[in-house]
Amino acid sequence: MPDVSLIQDTHQYIVDGKPCQSSVTKELKKAGLSKYWNKDEWYMERGRAIHTATHLIDLDQLDWDTVDSRILGFLEGYLKFKKESGIVFEHREVSLYDPIYRFCGTPDAFYPLTDIKTGEENEVQLGAYWQLLKANGYKTGKEAFSLLLNENGTYKFNPVKDVKLLSQVFLSALIINRYKENKK
SS (H, E, C) the chain: CCCEEEECCCCEEEECCEECCCEHHHHHHHCCCCCCCCCCHHHHHHHHHHHHHHHHHHCCCCCHHHCCHHHHHHHHHHHHHHHHHCCCCCEECCCEEECCCCEEECCCEECCEEEEECCCCCHHHHHHHHHHHHHCCCCCCCCEEEEEECCCCCEEEEECCCHHHHHHHHHHHHHHHHHHHHHC
Does 171 reside within a domain? yes
| Residues spanned by the domain of 123 | 24-183
pLDDT of residue 41 exceeding 80, the answer is: no
Q: What is the pLDDT of residue 144?
A: 96
Domains of the chain: total? 1
Does 3 reside within a domain? no
Does 14 reside within a domain? no
Considering the chain, what percentage of its residues have pLDDT values greater than 90? 78
- Share the mean pLDDT of the chain: 93
Does 140 reside within a domain? yes
Of 1-5, 12-16, 42-46, 146-150, the one with minimum mean pLDDT is 42-46
Q: What is the pLDDT of residue 35?
A: 64
Does 46 reside within a domain? yes
Q: What is the pLDDT of residue 38?
A: 57
Q: What is the pLDDT of residue 113?
A: 97
Q: What is the pLDDT of residue 17?
A: 94
Q: What is the pLDDT of residue 58?
A: 96
